[in-house]
């Protein structure tokens, strides 16, 4: 049954199979046979793989991605040269550093089998445990974090007075990488360290809004150290100017998404590739779920840009898309 209508020029929907032992790249190919959200994952893999090969990549990382276990994956992308600039939250840098100095996040529960959510959280409070959905963090790690900052990170910056936020994240990466030389720490050094070693800048516009920011403020109370909110935009804008081909890999919404996209407002060109992994639907009208077409009206994406949006839990889709894109690049 052939069909001359324009709509049917494509291959028909085939049948997605789910076989024992198939690779993640195979799975992504099966998604390409399917429709709905599955086909969006396939497209996101395709665009991500091409972006990794062709573009200067600006990655946005919002949400509790480090507590959720995405730390190694992001550090590996940086080390392997796939990410050229990272925009993230102070919380992700705080949790990244806590692991770099030997702290751990733990598998927990969003609801306890013997307690209500409220009682559960009250008890965690009493025991000094912070909860992030189903992840626990012992609060004493924040004391170790404070010592690390006050001994290793802030002092070298103090002489310069007010520094850029990127300068702080760079120093944090240097200090986190250095921990690894100590005998008692066997942890992977993580995102900030990888970025320091690979000379990839990390931007963190809302740094005040995190424990890292609170600690910076407390150190500032008794020293000349402070942070300039505007200074980073020189370098970031330069990078956007110099990128012949630019890509945006956006995980979650919020400030990291917007900051990655708005960078192109002051550059002559715009993104040639964009992939977003988000759970917010566009119907709320918030930026976190806004379509990438909407970004075209602002000039943040080139008209001809390739783009894909996956509306599903990013802790599920990020490892899937990255593993499949890496498999494709390996071939």
Residues 211-230 that bind a copy of itself (CB under 8 A): 211, 213-214, 216-218, 220-221, 226-230
State which residue, 24 or 178, has the beta carbon closest to a copy of itself.
24
Taking residues 2 to 21 in sequence order and writing x for each that binds a copy of itself by CB under 8 A, - otherwise, the string is -x-x-xx-xxxxxxxxxxxx
What does the alpha-carbon distance between residue 143 and residue 306 come to, in Å, rounded to a whole number? 45
DSSP H or E stretch at residue 227: strand 226-228
What does the alpha-carbon distance between residue 155 and residue 230 come to, in Å, rounded to a whole number? 22
| Interface with a copy of itself, residue 262, by CB under 8 A | yes
- 170: Cβ contacts below 8 Å, ≥ 6 apart: 195, 196, 201, 202
| Interface with a copy of itself, residue 149, by CB under 8 A | no
Min dist CB 2 to a copy of itself, Å, is 11
What does the alpha-carbon distance between residue 160 and residue 166 come to, in Å, rounded to a whole number? 14
What does the alpha-carbon distance between residue 42 and residue 308 come to, in Å, rounded to a whole number? 9
Considering only residues 290-309, where is the footprint of a copy of itself by CB under 8 A?
290-291, 293-294, 296-299, 303
Return the range that interacts with a copy of itself (CB under 8 A); candidates 50-58, 146-154, 169-177, 277-285. Answer: 277-285
b/e map of 93-111 (b: 16 or more CB within 10 Å)?
bbbbbbbbbebebeebeee
| Interface with a copy of itself, residue 159, by CB under 8 A | no
State which residue, 27 or 172, has the beta carbon closest to a copy of itself.
27
What does the alpha-carbon distance between residue 40 and residue 250 come to, in Å, rounded to a whole number? 15
Considering only 47, 56, 138, 153, the residue that binds a copy of itself (CB under 8 A) is 138
State which residue, 173 or 213, has the beta carbon closest to a copy of itself.
213
For the residues of 254-317, what is the DSSP string, one character each?
HHHHHHHHHGGGGSSS-EEEEEEEE---GGG--GGG--HHHHHHTTSEEEEEEEEEEES-HHHH
Taking residues 238 to 257 in sequence order and writing x for each that binds a copy of itself by CB under 8 A, - otherwise, the string is --------------xxxx--
Considering only residues 20-39, where is the footprint of a copy of itself by CB under 8 A?
20-27, 30-31, 33-39
Considering only residues 38-97, where is the footprint of a copy of itself by CB under 8 A?
38-39, 41, 62-64, 67-73, 76, 91
Min dist CB 242 to a copy of itself, Å, is 18
Spatial contact of 13 and 33, defined as CB atoms under 8 Å apart: yes
Q: What is the separation, in whole angstroms, between the first and last Cα of the chain?
A: 35
Spatial contact of 170 and 53, defined as CB atoms under 8 Å apart: no
Min dist CB 51 to a copy of itself, Å, is 15
Count of chain residues binding a copy of itself (CB under 8 A): 147
Considering only residues 98-137, where is the footprint of a copy of itself by CB under 8 A?
102-108, 110-122, 124-125, 127, 129-136
Considering only residues 162-191, where is the footprint of a copy of itself by CB under 8 A?
162, 165, 188
Min dist CB 113 to a copy of itself, Å, is 5
257 catalytic residue (yes or no): no
Active site residues: 300
């Amino acid at each position: 049954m052939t069909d001359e209508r324009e709509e049917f020029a494509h291959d028909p929907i085939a049948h997605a199979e789910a076989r024992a032992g198939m690779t993640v790249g195979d799975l992504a190919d099966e998604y390409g046979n399917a429709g709905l959200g599955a086909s969006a994952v396939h497209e996101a893999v395709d665009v991500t793989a091409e972006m990794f090969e062709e573009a200067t990549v600006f990655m946005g990382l919002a949400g509790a991605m480090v507590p959720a276990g995405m730390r190694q994956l992001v550090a590996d992308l940086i080390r392997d040269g796939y990410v050229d600039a990272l925009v993230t939250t102070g919380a992700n840098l705080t949790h990244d550093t806590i692991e770099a100095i030997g702290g751990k996040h733990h598998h927990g529960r969003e609801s306890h089998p013997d307690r209500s959510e409220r009682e559960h959280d009250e008890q965690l409070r009493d025991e000094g445990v912070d909860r992030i959905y189903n992840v626990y963090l012992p609060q004493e790690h924040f004391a170790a974090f404070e010592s690390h900052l006050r001994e290793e990170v802030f002092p070298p910056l103090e002489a310069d007075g007010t520094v850029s936020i990127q300068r702080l994240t760079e120093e944090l990466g240097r200090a986190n990488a250095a921990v690894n030389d100590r005998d008692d720490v066997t942890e992977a050094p993580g995102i900030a360290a990888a970025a320091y070693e690979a000379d990839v800048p990390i931007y963190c516009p809302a740094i005040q809004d995190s424990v890292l920011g609170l600690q910076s403020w407390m150190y500032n109370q008794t020293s000349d150290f402070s942070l300039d909110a505007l200074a980073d935009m020189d370098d970031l804008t330069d990078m956007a100017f110099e990128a012949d081909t630019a890509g945006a890999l956006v995980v979650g919404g919020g400030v990291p998404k917007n900051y990655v996209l708005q960078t192109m407002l002051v550059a002559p060109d715009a993104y040639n590739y964009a992939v977003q992994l988000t759970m917010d639907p566009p119907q709320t009208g918030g930026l976190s779920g806004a379509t990438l077409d909407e970004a075209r009206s602002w000039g943040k994406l080139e008209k001809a840009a390739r783009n894909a949006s996956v509306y599903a839990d990013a802790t599920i889709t990020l490892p899937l898309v990255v593993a499949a894109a890496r498999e494709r690049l390996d071939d």
